[in-house]
């Protein structure tokens, strides 16, 4: 049954009179009668019991009333659904983030999206290292990612949402743990614990830059799957690590001392990134909400 057929059937079912039903549909009676006959032929059953004096619904016609109404309701709601999707009131946005160090930012944004645009389905994908998140955004598997990058390709748009201080994580009792700040050259002989990603990872890249400027190459690199594991290894005196102020604030680190570097390097930027050519109106709405919820810390 098509929508126009459902409307015609319901008009006759309501008026139980072909003439008045045709009038309500702004059409002539003969085409309406032919339409109902075609429907009955297609369905293989009489929908109305007709006589010269009255028209009544047949049992089959009565059973069809509610499904026909549902079909018309769905049809009428489609225009509203399309309008809402065009202005970003509804839709789906897949958001990736690194984990505990940006949980607060993600939580704040998710609450505001839910409050302001409840029709948007904001899918959260945690444990996305920044270099992996960038690849997934470019591939179209994620719409937006919160992470840290020193360089971004031209195909990506971004906005700054936070700045973080670089810190050195040392075992408590380490010879440098009591210092107010640690110089990079004093770490030349240390074993280092790093995150996956190699030079594509912001922290590993910063570590190599600090070491190069201080005149040494980091030795005995050990890779750990996440910041929590790194803190466990540092606390167990397996090495030192370059980390972030957000990790200190959000990750349990028994046995670990955090110290700033001297001179203080440039802060690490936390950015929200998305594909420049992504025309998803729901994504535009989420980015707009983020401008108020996660304002640029440089302003």
Residues of the chain with pLDDT under 50: none
What CATH number was assigned to the domain covering residues 90-163+269-293? 3.40.190.10
Distances (CA, A) of 88 to 57, 111, 116, 128, 283: 44, 17, 11, 25, 7
Query: Is the dihedral angle over the CA atoms 17, 23, 25, 29 positive or is it negative?
Result: positive
Residues of each domain in the chain carrying CATH 1.10.10.10: 3-86
Q: What is the pTM of this model?
A: 0.71
Per-residue model confidence as pLDDT tens digits over 21-49: 999 999 999 999 999 999 999 999 999 99
What integer pLDDT is reported at residue 86 of this predicted model?
Answer: 61
Q: What is the pLDDT of residue 87?
A: 66
For residue 74, the model assigns a pLDDT of: 87
The candidate with the shortest Cα–Cα distance to 94, out of 148, 161, 153, 146, is 146
Decide: helix, strand or coil at residue 156.
strand
> According to the CATH classification, is domain 3-86 in 1.10.540.10?
no
Residue 187 CA to residue 182 CA, distance in Å, equals 8
Q: pLDDT value at position 207?
A: 94
- Predicted pLDDT at 9: 94
Residues 130 and 159: their CA atoms lie apart, in Å, by 15
In the chain, CATH 3.40.190.10 sits at 90-163+269-293, 166-266
| pLDDT score of 223 | 93
pLDDT number for residue 53: 82
- Quickly name the fold that domain 166-266 has: D-Maltodextrin-Binding Protein; domain 2 (3.40.190)
């Amino acid at each position: 049954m098509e929508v126009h057929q459902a409307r015609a059937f319901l008009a006759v079912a309501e008026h139980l009179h072909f003439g008045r039903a045709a009038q309500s549909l702004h059409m002539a009676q003969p085409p309406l009668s032919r339409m109902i006959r075609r429907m009955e032929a297609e369905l293989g059953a009489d929908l109305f019991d007709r006589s010269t004096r009255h028209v009544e619904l047949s049992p089959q016609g009565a059973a069809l009333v509610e499904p026909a109404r549902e079909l018309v309701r769905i049809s009428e709601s489609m225009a509203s659904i399309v309008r809402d999707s065009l202005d970003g009131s509804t839709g789906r946005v897949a958001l990736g983030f690194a984990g505990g160090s940006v949980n607060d930012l993600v939580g704040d944004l998710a609450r505001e999206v839910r409050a302001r645009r409840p029709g948007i389905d904001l899918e959260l994908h945690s444990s996305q290292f920044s270099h992996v998140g960038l690849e997934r955004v470019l591939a179209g598997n994620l719409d937006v990612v919160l992470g840290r990058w020193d360089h971004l390709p031209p195909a990506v748009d971004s906005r700054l949402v936070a700045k973080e201080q670089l810190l050195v994580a040392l075992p408590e009792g380490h010879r440098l743990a009591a210092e107010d700040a640690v110089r990079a050259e004093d770490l030349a002989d240390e074993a280092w614990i790093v995150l996956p990603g190699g030079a594509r990872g912001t922290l590993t890249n910063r570590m190599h830059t600090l070491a190069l400027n201080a005149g040494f190459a980091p030795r005995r690199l050990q890779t750990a799957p996440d910041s929590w594991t790194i803190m466990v290894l540092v606390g167990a005196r397996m090495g030192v690590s370059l980390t972030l102020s957000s990790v200190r604030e959000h990750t349990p680190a028994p046995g670990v001392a955090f110290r700033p570097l001297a001179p203080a390097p440039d802060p690490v930027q936390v950015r929200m990134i998305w594909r420049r050519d992504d025309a998803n109106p729901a994504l535009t709405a989420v980015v707009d909400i983020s401008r108020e919820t996660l304002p640029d810390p440089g302003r």
